[in-house]
Structure 1
Amino acid sequence: MPATTRDRTDIAQPRLGPLGWARWAWRQLTSMRTALLLLLLLAVAAIPGSVFPQRDIDPVKVRTYLDQHKSLGPWMDRASLFDVYASPWFAAVYLLLFISLVGCVVPRLGILWRELRAQPPRAPRRLDRFPEHRQVDLGDVDPAHALTTARELLRERRYRVRAGGRETGDGASAARGTATDEDGGRAAYGLLTDGVSGERGYLREAGNLLFHLALLVVIVAVAVGHLLGWRVDAIVPEGETFANTTSQHDTFSKGPWVDEESLPPFTVRIDKVTVEFETQLKGKQFGQPRSFAADTTTRAEPGAPEKPQRLEVNHPLSFGQSSVYLLGNGYAPVIVVKDAQGRQVYDQATVFRPQDNNYTSTGAVKVSALPEGKQLGFLGMFAPTISDAGLRAMPQSDFPAPAAPGLLLEMWEGTLFPDGRPQSVYTLETSAMKQPKTASGLPVRLALRPGETQQLPGGRGSVTFEGYKRFAGLSVRHDPGKPVALAGAALVLVGLIMSLLIRRRRAFVRVTDREGRRLLEVAGLSKSEDPRLGDAVDDLTAELCSRLGLAAPARPLEETVR
């Protein structure tokens, strides 16, 4: 057979213009699949913000990371991995997710509104084709009475019921008494009257929309909190005052629209920090903190009266929309350093950070009042309870309460801040410093108890450990979007519960004549997976039979394949 070829040059292929491509892109963006993909992408994009140090939280750690990774660090910085939540790519994903959700929800609001205004569909002719179908011999019961009873029962069960009158497609043919196609179909299937139909479960779709709308509210609230919120962390020893000014912030993280001059000017003085540790139980529970709190004196603004308040964990202090939380506690050894002439060049409570559950703490003492090249620095370890032998070795606290406190200092000399670079107050930059040696060639180490003073080698002066103070770790947070986000999260939960528990069901009742029998037929249909639909149809049939004085049919033991 000779081969034939088909000329495809005459086939008119559809072409999408700019408007067509824009519509296609909009449909793709506003599909639920794209929204879920963007939500997953947003979660993945937030991972670098938890893995790598962020510049707005700890710029010192970012600089240290860049110094340690000379090759990879600059490329990571160009990719905004140290400013993840302020990066353009994170904002793009965030905005696309918002637009996608809006495009998903708004059209569905119109669909739900039209469904709420429309009547339920008419009862189909062949109810026996439904997955859940029951039929009962009606006997001598009047069909009109049976359908009226069915209509009342559906209304009692909160179904929206469609009127049961006959509907003809052409009013003129009905006036002339001519038969319509529907009349022929009714006669063919033995339908005596129009059936009764009802529908319930519209709140399922409302719950689904509420879930998505609430998710939009949460997204907007988080964005508002990012733009207008700020957070401050500070460590305040006993007897000292925290003022909400940038000069007293250990760390300050603020949104792009926050004006530093508009921060609320409150003050918090830490009068006393009280900590209780477990002493009765043994094993791992021994020495565990049971409670810690701080007695404070606060002032809402300059000139306002002072107010004593108690600050506890999960019980913050409130200043308008700003809250002050108690996050931690520890020890701040009071250290005094004098130079060779006996002048006091350092005198303050120096915060040491706890390293274990027994509050073995490390810190740094920086005596910057001396000339460059002769400045002194001390790396220190503080133990609230330690023996003499342990203090002269490597200090390791035996108990978190201050039963026998000890301080070990390791001395350095040189320039504390080379090139003026910022550094952590808890560490010592030793690149421009040297460690003095003893006569035996060992590094200079000073083991001190409270009240003890030791002379520095080479006539450099003296160091006195006068005692210790407790400190309170404060976190001040201002998030104007938090109440809105909380309300949105609650509505998300409500919408999710509604969409999972409420079932969208339709119920149909008809009276038919088949093979000389007058039958009452009941059927049900669900718009989604509904394992309890059969129980609902059985219950509806049994109640209807009870009101009509009929015997309810036995529930089928297994599904019949139709």
Structure 2
Amino acid sequence: MTARDTLSADASSSDGIDESSPRPPRQSLLGRAVAVVRNTWRGLTSMRTALVLLFLLAFAAIPGALLPQRSLNEGKVNEYIAARPTLGPIMDRLELFDVFGSFWFTAVYVLLFVSLVGCIVPRCVEYAKALRAKPVAAPRNLSRLPHHHVETVDETPEAVAGRVRSHLRGWRVEQRSGGERAKRPGEITLSAEKGFLREAGNLVFHLSLVALLISIAAGKLFHYEGNVIIVANSGPGICTTSPAVFDSFRAGNERDGTGMTPLCLKVNDFTADYLDNGQAEMFTSNISYQTGEDLTSNTWRDAQLKVNHPLRVAGDRVYLQGHGYAPTFTVTFPNGETRSETLQWAPEDATTFLSSGAMRFDPPGGLYPNEDERRKNQIAIEGLFAPTAVFDGTLLSSGFPELIDPAVAIDIYKGDTGLDTGFPQSIFSLNEELINQGRLVKQERVNLFPGESATLADGTEVRFDGAVDFVNLQVSHDPAQQWVLVSSLVMMAGLLVSLVVKRRRVWVRIYPEPGPGKDPGPASATLTANERRTVVELGGLARTDQAGWGDEFDRLRIRLLGHPSAQRTTRAHDGQEMNS
């Protein structure tokens, strides 16, 4: 053996390495995979992870509140992206304009659900076991507990134990005599627990949170919601037979627009109450509706809508969302025929209800020799409407939101309004391209009060007839709404119980007092019952917090033992002992 071999052997011996001993087998690939899955599951189902996911869910909802969403207004989303040609497409690819339907929001939502279920199920099992388990036996040294009291009474241990048990009503009590934990002959211990409803309230809170998540998810899958503007006291209203009757409509992933609740609505009138400063105080609309058998018998039922007071019928809810004004114009063509139209204009100012809008009128058939000529003589109106007109020279504005002194400031156009193109157009504005191309030519700019009119060069007359109210109604259906309410109420009740109820444990050790000058032990067993008094030792422990437990322990002691007798040793809250 060379010197190098000798040094290597000595080094191996000094490190305690025995090359001849078998090495432990390396963990298999399957075992490592199982370990990774097990550890991942444990981490996912921890309460800390659930809290982090709940915070992430709330944080992820912020873009949905700050950015325009496609499900609400796709036009605003397109405008937002067009105004930001670099950042907009990136945000669109990240689904920031469809937050609540995005893959990452759904992933956080599902992970939170799985985490909560994984946390709650084991806790429910453990709670069920704890309910069946007996209260914990008394510790060997009660003086180490935060609250401790010792008292000597002139009763037998059995009598003291019976009296204490009678005063521990509402507590889970277990009485034990002797046993391995007994320190003295004839010792009786009582173990009492209280406050198991705290954990029950905590579990109910988390179970209700899971039920709330399920209800919200189910509601989003099976709900539908449509908004429609109806002019008051004009026309038959609408019937919810198809999404086409709504101005905007959205539905859950499991809805295709069919199978809606049959419901017909018409608006009879609208009333708005305003304060002197123009602030709205209350909106009220009287409507008539039909549903169910009313549709076959043509029976109309009356109802009144107010803000936050919807009509609930056949599982649907009809909300009064807003209101505005619909001006009426009448166009008299050169041959004397007339066309009238009442159309809602969009409020530009929510305080004064200064509104803007546009209208298009097609000439009557036969007035012009061919279609090209007829198309070149269409009439269009665009401008402002004020419910209470205020003029600064010729500039129109509104001084109050109520319909007191209406007026309009309009531009009158003649030419091709685009009605025959088949392309959708805004009802609140004219197509600027038609004006820029000269296909629509401005004829007049006038201010009109109700009954006033403007006459064009070819004899066409445009008359402003006044305005009426329109209301914006929302028809919504959410089959899980009542479960959301129930889950929320139960969740709050469970939280209240978990905050109010406190876990408490009390142990009582009862044993005969040793003879004079003797230590407690087997020798004291030679004394008769009449020669002994009984020592009662109490210990208390708060399982949750100690706020107020000291006073409660003192009240419990007085209730169990009554007034102190000859000698008493009480452990104070600071851990010191006082003799009296």
TM-score by length of 1: 0.84
State the 1:291 CA deviation.
Answer: 2.5
SS of the aligned residue for 1:217 comes to helix
State the 1:31 CA deviation.
Answer: 0.7
Q: CA distance change for structure 1 residues 343 and 542 in 2, over 3 Å: closer, same or farther?
A: same
Quote the residue 1:298 is aligned against: 289
Q: CA distance change for structure 1 residues 211 and 269 in 2, over 3 Å: closer, same or farther?
A: same
Q: Distance in 2 between matches of 1:226 and 1:543?
A: 56
Give runs of aligned pairs for residues 491-510 of structure 1, distance below 5 A: 491-510=490-509
The code of the aligned residue for 2:155 comes to: V
Equivalent in 115, 138, 151 of residue 123 of structure 1: 138
Quote the residue 1:270 is aligned against: 267
The code of the aligned residue for 1:468 comes to: A
Equivalent in 383, 386, 390 of residue 386 of structure 2: 383
Equivalent in 554, 561, 566 of residue 538 of structure 1: 554
Q: Distance in 1 between matches of 2:91 and 2:482?
A: 35
SS of the aligned residue for 1:521 comes to strand
The code of the aligned residue for 1:166 comes to: G
SS of the aligned residue for 1:164 comes to strand
Quote the residue 1:454 is aligned against: 454
Deviation per CA, 1:479-513: give whole Å up to 9, x if none: 11110000000011011011111111100111355
State the 1:337 CA deviation.
Answer: 3.7
Give runs of aligned pairs for residues 55-74 of structure 1, distance below 5 A: 55-74=70-89
State the 1:346 CA deviation.
Answer: 5.8
Quote the residue 2:5 is aligned against: none
SS of the aligned residue for 2:258 comes to helix
The code of the aligned residue for 1:362 comes to: S
Q: CA distance change for structure 1 residues 113 and 406 in 2, over 3 Å: closer, same or farther?
A: same
SS of the aligned residue for 1:524 comes to strand
Q: CA distance change for structure 1 residues 30 and 338 in 2, over 3 Å: closer, same or farther?
A: farther
Quote the residue 1:167 is aligned against: 179
Quote the residue 1:352 is aligned against: 346
Q: CA distance change for structure 1 residues 509 and 349 in 2, over 3 Å: closer, same or farther?
A: same
Q: CA distance change for structure 1 residues 112 and 373 in 2, over 3 Å: closer, same or farther?
A: farther
5+ residue gaps in structure 2? 1-9, 364-371, 520-533
State the 1:196 CA deviation.
Answer: 0.9
Quote the residue 1:404 is aligned against: 405
Quote the residue 1:19 is aligned against: 34
The answer to whether the aligner puts 1:223 opposite 2:220 as a matched pair is no
State the 1:195 CA deviation.
Answer: 1.5
State the 1:522 CA deviation.
Answer: 1.2
Alpha carbons 1:233, 1:252 under 8 Å: kept? yes
Alpha carbons 1:418, 1:432 under 8 Å: kept? no
Q: CA distance change for structure 1 residues 234 and 8 in 2, over 3 Å: closer, same or farther?
A: farther
Q: CA distance change for structure 1 residues 422 and 524 in 2, over 3 Å: closer, same or farther?
A: farther
Quote the residue 2:106 is aligned against: 91
Q: Distance in 1 between matches of 2:74 and 2:334?
A: 37
Quote the residue 2:3 is aligned against: none
Quote the residue 2:122 is aligned against: 107
The answer to whether the aligner puts 1:150 opposite 2:164 as a matched pair is yes
Give runs of aligned pairs for residues 161-310 of structure 1, distance below 5 A: 161-168=173-180, 182=181, 186-187=183-184, 192-238=186-232, 239-240=234-235, 241-244=237-240, 245-279=242-276, 286-301=277-292, 302-304=295-297, 305-310=299-304
Deviation per CA, 1:52-104: give whole Å up to 9, x if none: 22222222223333333333333333222222222222222111111111111
Deviation per CA, 1:392-443: give whole Å up to 9, x if none: 21x321222222111112356665589966554334442342398xx9xx99
Quote the residue 1:140 is aligned against: 154
The code of the aligned residue for 1:303 comes to: T
The code of the aligned residue for 1:322 comes to: D
TM-score by length of 2: 0.82
The answer to whether the aligner puts 1:365 opposite 2:359 as a matched pair is yes
The code of the aligned residue for 2:382 comes to: L
Q: Distance in 2 between matches of 1:555 and 1:134?
A: 6
Alpha carbons 1:331, 1:470 under 8 Å: kept? yes
Alpha carbons 1:414, 1:434 under 8 Å: kept? no
Equivalent in 307, 312, 327 of residue 313 of structure 1: 307
SS of the aligned residue for 2:193 comes to strand
Comparing 13-22 and 123-132, the one that deviates more: 13-22
Q: Distance in 2 between matches of 1:360 and 1:406?
A: 10
Alpha carbons 2:150, 2:568 under 8 Å: kept? no
Comparing 549-558 and 421-430, the one that deviates more: 549-558
Alpha carbons 1:48, 1:84 under 8 Å: kept? yes
Q: CA distance change for structure 1 residues 532 and 451 in 2, over 3 Å: closer, same or farther?
A: same
Q: Distance in 2 between matches of 1:124 and 1:374?
A: 101
Q: Distance in 2 between matches of 1:161 and 1:146?
A: 15
5+ residue gaps in structure 1? 169-181, 280-285
Name the larger-Rg structure: 2
Q: CA distance change for structure 1 residues 538 and 488 in 2, over 3 Å: closer, same or farther?
A: same
